[in-house]
Every structure is written in structure tokens, then in C-alpha cells.
Structure 1
Amino acid sequence: MSEAFEGCERQYCELSANLSRKCTSASAADGELKEQRISEIKVGIDEAESLIRKMDLEARSLQPNVKAVLLAKLREYKSDLNNLKSEVKRLSLGHLAARDDLLESGMADTLTASADQRARLMTSTGRLNHSGERIKESRRTMLETEELGVSILQDLHQQRQSLLHANNTLHGVDDNVGKSKRILTAMSRRMSRNKWIIGSIIAVLVIAVGLILYFKLK
């Protein structure tokens, strides 16, 4: 017999026994626990189907006398797997029916609660919309205030530049006035010296003319 077939066969037998135990456990469970067990069984069934496909491919690749024996075993395993699927289907339908009963029993309360909740939500939505409009208005005012503040800062900066320019101009005027004052003082001193020199020259000329006239008359 094929070793590959025997390996898959052992895995399937162990998996089938495990799934049977889980089906028994799931039938006694309720609510979320039952739903979890059913999900685990479905995953195991998918794995079992994969093992049967592998065994089928392996059996069909062997000699006719061996293949016939293995295919007969496969039919038993497929029947066992179908029984597991039927059990899972029954558990799932029972779980869904129980859930539907619970939903129907609580439908009226749910509808009433939903209506009240909807009314509260509408009220809350209206308040939120009103608050949103107030927030938008506050934001718009804040942006306008920010723009005004920026404009004022720009004006102050321009005025500061103008004052600095005027201050520099005044310093330049003071420097020019100081230079002019020094020049005028120097010119005044030179004129005073020049007056003394001119007076001396005039006195010398008067004396010289007097001497010339004296000698001529003599």
C-alpha cells in the first residue's frame, strides 16, 4: 500500500474523531461559544476534504488491484465526511433558528429603543449643527482679526522704517550744520587777520606817500 495514502489516512481518521467530539460539544453549547465551535468544525471539514482529495489522487495513480481497495476505503471516508457536514449543517440551522427567536422576542423592545435613540440622535444632531455654525463664525472672526493684526504690524513696520530714515536724515543735517559752523568760524578768523594785514598795508602806503610828497616838495 502507498505510504502517502496511509499517512493521509491516519491524519483523516484522527481529524474525523476530533470533529465528532466537537460536534457533540457544540450541540450542548449556546450563544457565541456554539458559534465558535461550529466555525472550528467547518475549518476541520475543509482540512478533511483536502486529505480525501490527496488520497483519491494517490489511489488512482497506483496499480488496479491496489487502487480498487483504496477507492473502497475512500468511499467510506467520503460517507463519513458527508455525515459530519450534515451534522454541522444541523447545528448551524439550529443556531440560526435560536438566534432568530431571540431577535423576534426582542424586536418590539428594539424598535422602541431605536425610535427613542433616533429622536435623541436627531436632537443631538441639531445641537451639533448649531454648535458647528457657531464654531465656523468664531473661526471666521478669528481669521479676520488675524488679518487685521497682520495689517497693523505691517503699518507699524513701515512707520518704524520711516522714523529710522528721518532720524538718519537729522543726524546728517546735524553733521552738515557742524561742518558749516566750523567753516564759518575759520573764515571769520581769516577775515580778522586779513583786516589787520590790510590796515597795516594801508598805513605803510600812507607813510610812503607822505615821504614821497615831502621829498618832492623839499
Structure 2
Amino acid sequence: MATLIQSYEQQYSVLTAEVTAKIGRLKVGNEENREQLSKEIQANFEEANDLLEQLELEYRGAGAGSRVAAYRAELQRVKDEYRSVLSNSATYNIETEETYDNWNVNEQRQKLLDNTERLERTGKSLTEGYRVILETEEIGAAVLQDLSVQRETIQRSRGRLRETDEQLNRSSRLMNTMIMRALQDRFVLIMVFLVLGVLLCAGLYFYVT
């Protein structure tokens, strides 16, 4: 930004120096040269005004102190010198000062209006873009928060599933142990009954015989 401001200021200085030199040549030139020089000077004035407008915009964007007012005062002094040279010439046909001033004022007013409209459109676009960025950031933060909550919920559910699976495994092992013991107890009871039956039959046999 500072480099661009310095470039505009340098261009403006070169341009005003060139205009001053042309005004000096205008004082001593012949009619044909004076007409050509006058056209060139007026074109240089327009270019200088454009440079000052651009320079003022750059100063505003940079938020720095502006020297545009001093440059405009200097440019007005050069314009006054140019009009003074033209008014002192009796052989050169020029526009009246009122016509020149009206043309210059209208030109500058239109340019200022155009620049103001462009700045307003740019400002609105930047504001809208900033609002969209803020909304997007809020939505992204909300989504990240929801994802974090869901992740914690999933992790807790996974932990509970592990605990449930471990409990089921322990219950299954316990049931298997109980079934084996019940089978063993039943087998022992059957064997006891068989032994008692055999003993009872043997006793009856010996008793009868």
C-alpha cells in the first residue's frame, strides 16, 4: 500500500513539473505551439486530478495521514498560473474562465460520484461477505460441537457394550459350571441308587435262601 502511494506521489510530482515547464513554454511560443501546448496542459490537468483521486483512495485504505489537500492546493496554483498566462494573451483564442471552471467542476463531480458508487458497492460486498463468513464459522462451530457430543456418546455406549459382553461371558461360564455340577450330582445319585438296589437284592436273596 505504501509503495503504491509513493508511486502515485512520484507520478504527480513529475506531472506537475511537466505542466509547469509547458506553461513556461506557453508564454513564449507562437500561436500554433500555444494551441498544442494548451491542449496538452489541459490533458495533464485531467490526469493530475485522476492521480489525486486514486491517491486519496489509497490514503483512506491505508488509514494514514493524507497530503492530498496540499497537492490539490499546489495543482490549483498551477491552474491559476495557466489561466493567467492565457488571459494575458491577446492573440490566443481560449475558452472563458467560467466555461473552463464549469467543465472542470462537472467532470470532477461526475468522477467523484462514480468513485463513491464504486466504493459503496465494494463496501456492501465486503460486508455481505464478512456476514457470510461469520455465519459459516458459527455453523461450523455448532457442527463440531455436535460431533464431539456424538463421539462421547458413542464412546460411552461402546464401553457399556464391553462391560455387558464381559458380564455375559462370566454368566455363561457360571451357567456351564452349574450344569456340570448338576450332572455330576445326578450321576452320583444314580450310582448310589444302583448300589443300594444291588445291596437290597442281595439281602433279599440271602434272606430267602
Provide the TM-score with structure 2 as the length reference: 0.48
| Structure label with greater radius of gyration | 1
Provide the TM-score with structure 1 as the length reference: 0.46
